[in-house]
Chain A
Amino acid sequence: MAIALSENDGWMLDGRCGQACRMAMSIVVRMAEVYGADELMDVSQAHIDGCALMSDAGLEFAEKLAAAGGKVLVPTTLNMGPLDLQDWRRFIHDEEFAAKAVRQGKAYTDMGCVPTWSCAPYQGYLTPRFGQQIAWGESNAICYANSVLGARTNRYADYLDICAAITARVPKCGLHLTENRRGQWLLRLVGFSGALLAEEVFYPVLGHLIGTMVGEKIPVIEGMPTRATDDQLKAFGAAAASAGSVALFHAVGLTPEAPTAEAAFQHCQPQRVVDIRPEDWYRAWDDLAGVEQGARLDVVVLGCPHLSFAEFRALVEAIREVAPAKAADGVDVALLTCQQSLALVERTDWQAELDAFGARITRDTCIFHTPMIRRDAKVLMTNSGKCAYYCPGTLGVRVALGSVGDCVRSAVAGRVLRRRPG
C-alpha cells in the first residue's frame, strides 16, 4: 500500500531539500511500509542511539548524511558513544578505532545533535513531556519515556532515529497512537512482603521476570509500590526491555496512563491475567546468579543505565558501611555515567571516597562499547538486570546480580557475596 505523503514529505523525498533529507526520508517511508502505516506524522524531539556503536558501516552512514548537509529539525540528544571523549586512552590503545569514534561523534554533532552521550536521557537535558510525540532509540530510554513520562515513541532502531530527527517525521503507527498503548496483560503482585518490596534489587529482578514472561506485550502491573523512585523504575524498565521487548508498561497508581487498571486497559478486558508470587520472583533472582556464592570476583559494574546523582549517593553510603572501604586487589570497580550526573558529583566531596575505594568513573560510554573489562575477567557483579542479561554473551563473563550493598561488600571481600533479599 502506498504511503500518503504530505507536500513537504514529497519535497524531501525528491531531493528538493538536499540529499541528506532525501536519503533520510526514503528510509522513513520504507520503514512506514514495513510497519504497515498509512501516513507519516510529526515528532518534536529525538534521541539517537545510532551514535553508540562503532562500526565502519555506522561511521559511513553518519558521515554520508553529515557530508550531504544533514541537519536535525528537532531538539536531539545523543546516547552514549563508543568512548569517553575526555579520557579514552585509559582503555583504548587502538588509535584508529578512537579516531573513527571521534569522527562519528563529530558527524552527529555537526548535524546539530546535543552531545549528552547518555543512555539515561530522561534524567538529563530535554526530558520529554507527557503526550509528546518523540523518536527515541535505546531500549531502556524508550521504555522509560513511554511508561514513566507518558511521552510517545516506538522502538526506533539505530539509524532510523537520525532519519526521524532530520525529517521530523515518523511512520504514524504503534505506540504513537492512543489505542495501541492499551494494556494487554494484567500482572498482579501477590503475597510480597513489605521487606522484599523495599529491596533495591526487587525492581531489576522483577523487570527481568516480567520481560521474560510478556515478550512484546504491554503489561499492566498491579501492586508495585507507589513510592518507587525514578531510579527504581529505570532499573525495572531496563531489565524488562532486555529480557523481553517491553517498550511500554503501566504500573497502576504509579505511571501516568494508569491511574487505575481500567484506565490502563482503556476499559477493555486484559488478554491474560497472571499472578506473580514471591516464589516466581526468587526463581528469577536465582536465574540472575550465573555464579556460585563465594566465587572469586574480577569486576563490579554499576551504571547500566548510566548512574544518576542519587545512585552515586547510594553507592557512597554503601561504601561508608564497609571496612576497609577499599576494593580488594584484583577487583575492578567500573562506574558508568554521563557528564551531567558527573558534574553534580564533582560538586560533592564523594570523589575522594570513590577514588579510595578503587572505583573508576567513565563517562559518555559503557562496557559494551569501550573495552574497559579486562580480558581475563571471568566473574562480574552488577546491580543491573540489563547488564546481567547481556554480559555473558557479549563479554564472555559469568554474572551475579546483587544490590549496590552486595556489590560493595563483594568488591571488598574479592568474592561474590549475595544476600538473599526479603
Chain B
Amino acid sequence: MSATDGMTRKRRTMQGRAVVAGSASGEAVVSAQPISLWGGLDAKTGEVIDRRHDCSGRIVTGRVFVFPWGKGSSTGSAILLESIRLGTAPAAIVNCATDPIAALGSIIADELYNRPVPIVVLGEEDFRSIRDKDRLTITPDGTVTVEKPPLRTPPS
C-alpha cells in the first residue's frame, strides 16, 4: 500500500449542508437511531439517557454526535440550549435529515450567548460512512472531514 493510498483511506472530506454554520472538531459518537434530546440527553452531564437508545450511557460532551434525525418531544431544543449554557453540549451534530429541534436550540444559543453548536446534514451514503470514534472536523460551509482513529500498535 502506497503512502497516498493510506492518506485517502485515513482522511476524506464530504460536503454537507450547514444547517447551523460553525467550526468544530471532535471524536464521533455514532448512533443508527433517531433520538429525542428531551428524555434522551441529560443537559447536566451530557450523557445519553434514553435507555432504549443504542448510545445509552455514552457522553457526547465535546464530541460530534452523529445520529440520523431527531424525534419525539419538542422540548429537545431547550435541552440542547441548556447543555450549551452548561458546557456539556456536543461540539457539533451531524445528521442525515434536518432536525429543526436541535437547530433551534443551537440558533437560540447563538442569539443569547453567541455560542451555537454547528449542525451539518450529510447525504445518506456519506452519513453512513462515518464510524464510531472517527475524528470529524466541521467547517462553516458544511464540509465534514473524517480521519480514522490511529490503529493500535501491535504488540512487538
Contacts and interface: CB of A to CB of B under 8 A. Distances in A.
Q: Do A and B come from one complex?
A: yes
Interface of A: 23, 26-27, 30-31, 34-36, 49-50, 52-53, 55-58, 60-61, 64, 137-139, 142, 154-161, 215-216, 241-242, 244-245, 368, 389-390, 392-394
B71 A215 contact: yes
A157 B82 contact: no
Nearest to B101: A157
Interface string B94-132: 000110110111011101100000000000000000000
Contact of B81 (A52, A55, A138, A215): A55
Given A61-B112, A139-B73, A245-B70, A158 B52 contact: no
B28 interface: no
A26 B108 CA distance: 10
Contacts of A392: 51-52
A31 B103 contact: yes
Contact of A142 (B36, B43, B74, B77): B74
A158 B104 contact: yes
Contacts of A241: 72
A216 B108 CA distance: 24
B100 A34 contact: yes
B111 A23 contact: yes
A245 B75 contact: no
Contact of B77 (A160, A215, A245, A390): A160
Given A160-B104, A392-B52, A394-B49, A57 B74 contact: no
Interface of B: 19-20, 34, 36, 38-40, 43, 49-53, 56, 69-79, 81-82, 84-85, 97-98, 100-101, 103-105, 107-109, 111-112
5 cross-chain pairs, A with B, having the tightest CB-CB distances, nearest first = A157-B77, A55-B82, A245-B71, A158-B78, A157-B101
B107 A58 contact: no
Contact of A57 (B49, B53, B98, B112): B112
B39 A393 contact: yes
B112 to A, nearest CB: 6
A157 B76 contact: yes
A80 to B, nearest CB: 11
A23 B107 CA distance: 11
Contacts of A27: 104, 107-108, 111
A67 B95 CA distance: 36
Contacts of B75: 49, 52-53, 157-158
A252 to B, nearest CB: 25
B52 A64 contact: no
Given A58-B78, A155-B101, A215-B71, 5 more contacts: A34-B20, A138-B73, A158-B74, A158-B81, A393-B56
B104 A242 contact: no
A212 B85 CA distance: 32
A242 B78 CA distance: 17
A137 B50 CA distance: 21
A64 B112 contact: yes
B34 A245 contact: yes
Given A35-B100, A137-B74, A138-B74, A57 B69 contact: no
A56 B51 CA distance: 26
Contact of A50 (B50, B72, B78): B78
Between A60, A64, A139, the greatest number of chain B beta carbons within 10 A of the residue's beta carbon is seen for A139
A23 B108 CA distance: 9
Contacts of A215: 34, 71
Contacts of B19: 34
Contacts of A34: 19-20, 98, 100, 103-104, 107
A244 B69 CA distance: 11
Contacts of B82: 53, 55-58
Contacts of B85: 55-57
B149 to A, nearest CB: 29
Nearest to A53: B78
A389 B72 CA distance: 10
Contacts of A31: 100, 103-104, 107
Between A31, A53, A158, A242, the greatest number of chain B beta carbons within 10 A of the residue's beta carbon is seen for A158
A52 B76 CA distance: 12
A26 to B, nearest CB: 7
A203 B40 CA distance: 24
B78 A155 contact: no
A167 B9 CA distance: 50
B39 A159 contact: no
A298 to B, nearest CB: 18
Contacts of A157: 74-77, 100-101, 104-105
Given A215-B34, A245-B70, A393 B103 contact: no
Contact of A390 (B39, B98, B112): B39
A139 B70 CA distance: 12
A161 B79 CA distance: 15
15 contacts: A34-B19, A49-B74, A53-B78, A55-B78, A55-B82, A57-B84, A61-B108, A157-B75, A158-B104, A159-B77, A161-B74, A242-B73, A245-B34, A389-B52, A392-B51
